Amino acid sequence: MYTNLSTIEIKPTSTHQYSIIWLHGLGADGHDFEGIAPELHLKAEAHTHFIFPNAPIQPVTINGGMEMPAWYDILERSLERKVDIKGIYQSATYIEQLIAQEIASGIPAEHILLAGFSQGGVIALQAGLNFPQPLAGIVALSTYFPTVDNLRTHPAIANKTTPILMGHGILDSVVNIETAKEAYNTLHELGYSIQWHDYLMEHSVCVEEIQHIADFINKKFI
């Protein structure tokens, strides 16, 4: 099964052992986090395949229906109240297909990590926690998880112990930190292996957060 998503990729310079699929936020593209790869200084960087998929182009309601790269529609600014569930599920399916492609190339699921920023973080959590095989980990940055309550009624067992890193800016005016913390609290309550960090920043990524991400990945990719 192959997805129609286009991707930006950084190929491993040595034997391919690990894969990181990194999802951008609303209105950006796969190049948005391409530059973070060398900043992580991963121990297994030479063996890691970085994949930065481009979200589909679609109209976004809160932006007057303007078409832009989006993993799902944003229906209103109160993110958690009215949600494009169908769009979230569709994009999660695309990412599951990317994971399946890496597995088909010989990389075990437990050597594949998902990361996402903002909208991309929603899809990383949705796809990762519902994938039928255990993954290496999930990094969810400046994001929330509007479908988290589905894990109460339809628990996904394979990734129940998969480590999750959530990071958020306390000055974030795009995704309110309280909304993000609710997702963290729910996942923690449900018994997921999750850690939380917050930073003095807006809707962004900072040096301290990059170090935390690197430490998180280096524990899995050695």
CATH number at residue 93: 3.40.50.1820
pLDDT digits (tens, 9 = 90+) for 75-88: 887 766 688 999 99
The two beta strands, 137-141 and 112-117, are parallel
Question: What are the residue numbers of the active site?
Answer: 118, 172, 203
- What whole-number distance in Å separates Cα of residue 211 and Cα of residue 199? 12
Number of structural domains, the chain? 1
- What whole-number distance in Å separates Cα of residue 6 and Cα of residue 163? 28
The two beta strands, 48-53 and 57-60, are unpaired
pLDDT digits (tens, 9 = 90+) for 118-131: 999 999 999 999 99
Decide if 2 is inside a domain: no
This model's pTM is above 0.85: yes
- What whole-number distance in Å separates Cα of residue 181 and Cα of residue 197? 10
Decide if 190 is inside a domain: yes
Decide if 1 is inside a domain: no
The whole domain housing 194 covers: 7-217
3 confidence band (pLDDT: 50, 70, 90):
low
